[in-house]
Structure 1
Amino acid sequence: MRKPILALLTAAALLPLAQAAEPVVPTAASKPYRVVAYYISWGAYGRDFLPYDIDASKVTHINYAFANIKDGEVVVGDPGVDTGGKNNFETLQRLKKKNPNLRTLISVGGWSWSVNFSESAATPESRKRFADSAVAFIRKYGFDGVDIDWEYPVEGGSDEMKHRPEDKQNYTHLIAALRKALDAAGKEDKKYYELTTAVWGNDKFIKNTEMDKVSRDFDFINLMSYDFNGLWNKFSGHLAPFRNDPAYNKPGISDKFNVVSSVEAYLKAGVPPAKLVVGIPFYGFAWKQCPPERNGEYQDCNGKGRGTWEEGNLDFSDIEANLINRNGFTRHWNDVSKAAFLYNAKTGEFVTYEDPQALKHKLDFIKEKKLGGAMYWEITADRKQTLVNQIAESLLPKPGK
């Protein structure tokens, strides 16, 4: 989802699906909202955060990141933790047994492992091979569906990415092949397999895909409405501003780089509102030696600041515990962008991050526009569940209702 980023099923669909005579198809009009948590496989290492550490009552879906693509087929991404050792896949199965409403999806690709998508989507034969392998994967490991994280068709992505101009149409064809294979498997297995995707918040993704066509085959679409600015730029700014701030006129920063504009662009491109799930970042970016004007905001800085696991990248838990009005940092609020940020006047460190005040604007917007819910990248970064709880309390029904 990041560089190293349908509502709940109807009551009938949530019954033990093996007992159903036919698979029950979730509808986009179903309520309440979807709350989709991405879980990273590498959370099982130094972060020491395993799937059973997730409070499944506060999510509707867990998307497991990531499976890889090898020789045109979906394969286990990290055997050391996915299927061996701590065996995250088995742990997810136990979590589902305790939480029968929970849906788990395998997320395929991501920033590092999208390199072979173009080839897998190139021909009818390669698409069938990919789709059949995806079905075999979820059957073997007990997932409820597939999440496609192709970063990105036609252009963009990591330096190793392979692209074709035909990716635009082939993305549609690949998803159609997957939908067909999942539906056939669901009929045999007497359950419904979901198909979702993660999409870039940048207009380029819309230009390079056929969202009006492909959205018909997706149960919902996770909008990566973050990383509108980050450490790839030398200047400080907000990673997930709610609205555009005209004062933010740095090179390469479009007035469309904000949550509202990104959502509106996908709706205009033909994505049904109830299928569009808004992404929330559970992390922040830090720059150092930023000039004091505007409390460090929109300034040319001198490199990456402190990090939790890697330089310049901060978990929300780290920010919450150690930086908000602590250790020389002061919290500030941009009321145009509806974005919080931190600045250390002594060191010149600037931190952009998501906070409860900013998140409330996004949650209210989801309900106002009748969107599909919220997704977050990623759950290991909110140890105290501050943002997790806020999202669940806003979008999910209260117990007993």
Structure 2
Amino acid sequence: MVGRAAVAGLMCLLFGAHALALPTAEDAGLVTRAAGKRAVGYFVNWAVYGRNYQPQDLPASKLTHVLYGFANVNSTGGVYLSDEYADLQKHYPTDSWNDVGNNVYGCIKQLFLLKKANRNLKTMLSIGGWTYSPNFHAPLGTAAGRQQFVDSAITLLKDLGLDGLDIDYEYPASAQEAADFVTLLKQLRQGLDAYSSRVGLPAGSFLISVASPAGPTNYEVMDMAGMDASLDFWNLMAYDYAGSFSNLTGHDANWAASGSNPGSTPFNSQQALDYYKAHGVSPAKTNLGIPLYGRSFTGTTGMGQTFSGVGQGSWEAGIYDWKALPLAGATNTDDDDLLASWTYDSSKQELISWDSMHTMQAKANKAVSTGLGGLMWWETSADRTGGDSAISAQVAILSAAGGMEQRNNVLSYPESQYDNLKACFPSS
């Protein structure tokens, strides 16, 4: 028997702007699975400002998941949106100013419209991130704090029409914090499945992922097997291996370690993935993180050498958007053994570690050959568009190797506080 959420989802498809001719029960958001790769892109709410990157700019037909960041956590464990203007209020040209009722706009509405047009696209709220993660430690250490986190996160999911939650906790720093994190994820899974049942959807309809570290100091603390029982997939942050915080110039996101220039590879993705696998995380549940940026070093003679500063960057010192690279006057080098690239401008003595298109494609092939579940990109506003898109080029390789994961999103949210979302945006 099809649940009431399924019926509502069918009505959304029948009468929405992107109606399908012959909707089925699967179109209502019931769980459907097929073997295939994931393509997971972070969309950050601050991109709508100076970067002028809007949800409509996402390569939605290429992605299987969008992680929308970031939500914050208060002192009692409550999860809340960090920018209500960008998230809920910003009006786009197609939005009316005369709607009746309690309605949602902003990025949340635009992401839902992308879901209607691309049924394989799931949207997930990312909670935490580097800036907000310190707020996790205290509330997650208490039963009341964990319950408040779970209750408030699920309220946001059902209000905002999301398909899941991405927990970006950087990082549990002790065995006790690691255990508390396992408990939180278990409670979150139970809470999401209870909500699924309440609205007539199968258990597992809503997803949980984590952004996870690639550095031993952080990942060796985690109870990976305990976490994995509650997770749909892991997003390995396989980047930030070197930067302004380093003693020497180094690779930002290399796959392997260098035998000839070890100072250039203080970390590597292969070591991290081997550890995850040995501690209960299947490669098929792991997405390799890909940086859509490069880290710069100035006053240096080359890779693995000393440096005196960092470059100007696109939006912050030392970090250039992928679409801005290589800089004029710089020469690129690809290392096929390390799966790493860098540019160097001898006149400026500036080195930038990044992933060239060549290395991007090599990493996609490596993800396929090692059985990884897919790729994750941080973050989408830094990509080029059209035929020069790194995301599109890598997705083409994943797709050719057996296709992309097929799992319909959810379109029915009968408990949302927002009238237009609950009605599936019938006028959009």
Instruction: Report the TM-score range of the alignment, normalised by the length of the smaller protein.
Output: 0.7 to 0.9
- Kept in 1, the 8 Å contact 2:242–2:250? The answer is yes
Matches within 5 A, 1:290-309: 290-291=300-301, 296-309=302-315
> Which residue of 2 is the match for residue 387 of structure 1?
390
SS of residue paired to 2:146: helix
CA distance, structure 2, for counterparts of residue 146 and residue 376 of structure 1: 17
Matches within 5 A, 1:134-145: 134-145=153-164
CA shift at 1:109, angstroms?
0.2
Structure 1 stretches lacking a partner, 5+ long: 1-14, 155-163
| Number of residue pairs aligned between Structure 1 and Structure 2 | 363
> Which residue of 1 is the match for residue 363 of structure 2?
362
> Which residue of 2 is the match for residue 4 of structure 1?
none
When residues 329 and 359 of structure 1 are mapped into structure 2, their CA distance, relative to the original with a 3 A threshold, is same
Q: Which amino acid aligns with 1:387?
A: A
SS of residue paired to 2:113: helix
- Kept in 2, the 8 Å contact 1:169–1:210? The answer is yes
TM-score by length of 2: 0.80
- Kept in 2, the 8 Å contact 1:206–1:269? The answer is no
Moved over 6 A (4+): none
CA shift at 1:25, angstroms?
4.9
SS of residue paired to 1:58: coil
> Which residue of 2 is the match for residue 81 of structure 1?
86
When residues 24 and 95 of structure 1 are mapped into structure 2, their CA distance, relative to the original with a 3 A threshold, is closer
Q: Which amino acid aligns with 1:153?
A: P
Q: Which amino acid aligns with 1:84?
A: Q
When residues 78 and 233 of structure 1 are mapped into structure 2, their CA distance, relative to the original with a 3 A threshold, is same
- Kept in 2, the 8 Å contact 1:234–1:302? The answer is no
> Which residue of 1 is the match for residue 290 of structure 2?
280
Q: Which amino acid aligns with 1:305?
A: G
Q: Which amino acid aligns with 2:169?
A: W
> Which residue of 1 is the match for residue 409 of structure 2?
none
Q: Is residue 2:58 matched to residue 1:54?
A: yes
Q: Is residue 2:236 matched to residue 1:223?
A: yes
CA distance, structure 2, for counterparts of residue 227 and residue 109 of structure 1: 18
Structure 2 stretches lacking a partner, 5+ long: 1-5, 11-24, 92-105, 407-428
TM-score by length of 1: 0.85
Partner residue of 2:142 out of 109, 123, 134 = 123
CA distance, structure 1, for counterparts of residue 396 and residue 84 of structure 2: 35
CA shift at 1:250, angstroms?
3.2
> Which residue of 2 is the match for residue 10 of structure 1?
none
CA distance, structure 2, for counterparts of residue 58 and residue 173 of structure 1: 34
Offset from partner CA, 1:314-344 (integer Å, 9 cap, x none): 0000115xx2xxx321111234312111000
> Which residue of 1 is the match for residue 152 of structure 2?
133
Q: Is residue 2:262 matched to residue 1:249?
A: yes
Q: Which amino acid aligns with 1:246?
A: G
> Which residue of 1 is the match for residue 279 of structure 2?
269
Q: Which amino acid aligns with 2:68?
A: Y
Matches within 5 A, 1:324-335: 327-335=328-336
CA distance, structure 2, for counterparts of residue 209 and residue 341 of structure 1: 32
CA RMSD after TM alignment? 2.2
SS of residue paired to 2:120: coil
CA distance, structure 2, for counterparts of residue 117 and residue 248 of structure 1: 38
Which structure is richer in relative contact order (CA contacts within 8 A, separation 6 or more)? 2
Matches within 5 A, 1:1-400: 18=9, 24-25=30-31, 30-70=34-74, 71-86=76-91, 87-154=106-173, 165-191=175-201, 192-250=205-263, 254=266, 257-291=267-301, 296-320=302-326, 323=327, 327-384=328-385, 385-396=388-399
SS of residue paired to 1:83: helix
CA shift at 1:23, angstroms?
7.7
CA distance, structure 1, for counterparts of residue 65 and residue 238 of structure 2: 18
